[in-house]
Every structure is written in structure tokens, then in C-alpha cells.
Amino acid sequence: MIPLTAAAIAAATDGHLVPGTDPSLLVTAPASIDSRQVHPGGVFAALPGRRTDGHYHASAALAAGAALVLAARPVPAPAVQVTDVTRALGDLARHVADRLPATVIGITGSNGKTTTKDLATQVLAHHGPVAATDRSFNNELGFPLTVLRATPDTRYLILEMGARGRGHLSYLCGLVTPHVGVVLNVGTAHLGQYPDGQTGIAAAKSELLTGLPSADHGGLAILNADDPLVAAMAPLTPARTRWWSQRPHPNGVYARDVHVTPRGRACFTLHTPEGTAPVTLRLTGRHHVGNALAVAALALGLGLDHHTIADALSAAEPASGGRMQTIVRGDGVTLLHDAYNANPDSMAAALTTLSTMSARRRIAVLGEMADLGDHAAGAHHHLGVLAARAGLDVLITIGTRTAPLIADAADTEHSTLDIIAVPDSQAAHDVLSRILRPDDLVLIKASRAAHLEHLVAALSNR
């Protein structure tokens, strides 16, 4: 964080110093909302949680090294008391961002935000110090916490921005206005939350672009030319637009010669207005080509040369935490751990990836997709059709609500496919333990609520 006194923090958050707090006390480290993970010298923000309330842990946070507590109720000094701690974190982020020399980059989209943010972090690090969102902390809390991670020498501040509905990104941009906005795609994630369907999702994401600075003031919009709903956002932004595409584009960044290795790594030739360069991603799945192109367009717009970008993309570590993670067991079975989350787009991308990788047998273990509202039945039916057409040897569905729709649709589409419908992941584990053989390739994917990472963990211990 940029160093701030307790008095400055109180002024920025419209709060008051709790008696006994030295106004000149200096806060130098980032903020935290978990008293067990405070940054020594940083702010501890006391918030009500699901199981406990941060206010009860203020003393523990100070004992663990926090310099100052931000609270909505009386707590021991040193502390600043405010009306609303979440709003105060936002105010503090705004205050800090106004004083940061960093270029602020916002990334939104239905799919691939974290992957793209992690790629961008690794590529832009070749140009200067980067601060970025931790994991997917992309909401009204995670966003300010990320801003507070920046230091005076941060050159790029990369913010993952999740839109939970209309007005959400406008709110985040009101706290800290990015100089650069990246819109990856408009898919079907969280469709159930949008009464007006994909039009609503597109409108929610476009809020990142309307608030960008004009081209004259350095505003830059990085847009996906292949997604019509994203392409249609171009007239909404006053910023300069840079395009990326999977097809030749007259003045954008694009990929040619895209192919996927038998182990699933995506390779392509990066074409830029400045020249071409080969890229071999360490990420699994063709769908990451789009994420990599977005990063290439971003980095080019920020002044990196195309050779550096291509080399940095090829060296970038894949995101962890169940996003197409490859786990090779001692007995030669390969697990494709994609259980972090699922929606219709990422399910389709994962099945395509599975179908292009080489293996003795390809097995998909699919759980239910959450948050689709009225679209749930249709989406699970469609997933079954896709699974039947994906060249699988075995399909295992997990769940009792919408999962049977996957199995039924797959059965209707491809009656000779080996389909096993089980109620829960314990039953899936029992089946898999029985049938898995060396060189089998197993995709495991569902929405986060299904917690299939436990199944992955149980299967990995072999």
C-alpha cells in the first residue's frame, strides 16, 4: 500500500479516530479482512462474516501485527470508526488510486477473467512491477482490497471485475476508474440472475467501457472481435479500441495456425501489426487462445514488443485451483481437474479440449451447473447432446436434480455411449475406482457448489 497516516485514513473514509489512536501512526501494508492473515503494518477491516464477526477479532488482528483497525463499532485502539466498513474500504481504495502512478487495467467477461488476469500479470511483469487481484476476489470487497495492494512503484494494477448485475461495474469503476478495459466475452454464466438474458449480461459488462478515459487521455479498450455482443460495445467507449480475434483482422492482433498438442497445449502464431511470433501455451485447451490474444492486444497497447509478449505467454504458468489442471497419477491415469466452476460455455470448452487430447479412453465426469434459472433444463439437455458428440468412451453424470437431463439427452443422441448416472461424488468415486485403467483421461467438472475438488483429491491419491 502507499503509506498513509491514521489521520489520512480517517479523513478518506469519513471516519473518526478511536480515542488512543495516534493520528500520525503510519500504515504501510495492504488491508486484510481475516485476523489470521493480517499483513504486519496494514489495516484490518472488521466485517460481519457468515460464521463470525470481524469486530470480535480486532484485538487478535492487532496482536498479529495489524497497524490499525477499520470498524463500524467501538474496538480497541488504534482504530478508525466508520459507518460502513465495506464502503470505507471503497473510499480508501479511491483515495489511494488517485495517488498511484500505476496504469489501472480492468478485466471482465463471462469466462476466463482469472486466467487472463494471471497471464497478463506474468506478461506485463516484463515491463514493470505488477499488482493484481488475488485469485477471483473480484467483487465490491475484493476490488478495493486489490487496489490497496499496490505500492508506489507498481506500474500496472490489474483488477479482475466480476459483474453480478446491472450497475455493479459502474459502482466499481466509480471507486477506481481503469485506464484500460478488457472485455473477453459475453456468455451464459449466471444467466439466471439476468431477467433480460444475454442482452442484460452484455449491458452489465459494457459498464467497464463507458467509464474509460477518452483516447486523448490514454483510455484503451481491448475487445474481442469474434464475439458480436462484445464487438457491439465499441461505439460505447470514448477510449481507443484495440481488437483481437481468432481470424485475420485488418488492424488487430490475431492467431493463425492454431493447433492443440496431444497433451492439450494450445499453439498458434501471433500476428500483430508489428510482426509475427510463435506461441506455445502451457495452458490446457484451445479456448485459452482467446485469453492469450486478449493479453497480447493489451500488452501491445501498453508498449511491449511482440517477441517479448509471445515468449512471456509461452512461459506463463497455468492458473491453479481446478482450472483445467492436469494431474498424472502414478498408474498413468490423467485427471483433467476443471472442478473450479462450470457454466454452459466452459463445459463446452472443456469437452472440446477432452475430445482433442490423446488417450486410451476419454471419460467425462460432469456435475450440475448452478445459477441458470429458467435456462437450467435446456442447458443441461444441451450439455448431454454435446457430451454425446464429443467422442467420449464413458460419461458419468453426478447429481439428482438436473444431471439426469444430461444423461438422458446423451443417451438419446448416442445410444451406444457408456453412460453412468450416479447421485453423488462418493458413488462416482466408487465407479471410477473400479473402471479406471492406465492411459485413461478423465475430465472432472461441475459448478463450484458441487465441490468436485474432493472427488479429484480422492482420485489423485493413487
Rg (CA), the chain: 24
72 makes contact, choosing from Mg ion, ligand ATP, none, with CB < 5 to 8 Å by partner type, with none
Contacts of 55 (CB under 8 A, 6+ apart): 46, 48, 71, 72, 73, 75
Taking the least distance from each CB to ligand ATP, the nearer of 30 and 142 is 142
Contacts of 102 (CB under 8 A, 6+ apart): 131, 150, 154, 155, 156, 157
- Quick note: the x/- pattern for ligand ATP over 185-224, rule CB under 6 A, is x---------------------------------------
What are the residues facing 181 on neighbouring strands? 106, 221
312-315-321 Cα angle (round to 5) = 115
Contacts of 87 (CB under 8 A, 6+ apart): none
Among the listed residues 79, 324, 376, 443, the single contact to ligand ATP using CB under 6 A: 324
Q: Please, what is the minimum distance in Å from the beta carbon of residue 10 to Mg ion?
A: 33
Site for ligand ATP in 149-168 (CB under 6 A): 162
The answer to whether residue 341 forms part of the interface with ligand ATP (CB under 6 A) is yes
Among the listed residues 226, 311, 345, 413, the single contact to ligand ATP using CB under 6 A: 345
Among the listed residues 136, 314, 352, 355, the single contact to Mg ion using CB under 5 A: 136
**Amino acid letter, residue 371:** D
Among the listed residues 15, 54, 90, 112, the single contact to ligand ATP using CB under 6 A: 112
65 is in an annotated binding site: no
Q: Please, what is the minimum distance in Å from the beta carbon of residue 160 to Mg ion?
A: 6
The answer to whether residue 144 forms part of the interface with ligand ATP (CB under 6 A) is no
Coil vs helix vs strand at 389: coil
115 is in an annotated binding site: yes
Omega of the bond leading into 78 within 30 degrees of 0 (cis): yes
Among the listed residues 91, 338, 440, 453, the single contact to ligand ATP using CB under 6 A: 338
151 is in an annotated binding site: no
The answer to whether residue 334 forms part of the interface with ligand ATP (CB under 6 A) is no
What is the greatest pairwise CA distance in the chain?
Answer: 75
The answer to whether residue 325 forms part of the interface with ligand ATP (CB under 6 A) is no
Site for ligand ATP in 347-386 (CB under 6 A): 349
d(CA 325, CA 317): 11
The answer to whether residue 57 forms part of the interface with Mg ion (CB under 5 A) is no
Site for ligand ATP in 270-309 (CB under 6 A): 285, 287, 290-291
d(CA 91, CA 9): 9
Nearest one of 67, 64, 59, 5 to 31, comparing CA atoms: 67
d(CA 126, CA 374): 46
Range in contact with Mg ion (rule: CB under 5 A) among 113-121, 230-238, 338-346, 420-428: 113-121
Q: Which residues bind ligand ATP (CB under 6 A)?
A: 111-115, 136, 138, 162, 185, 285, 287, 290-291, 323-324, 338, 340-341, 345-346, 349
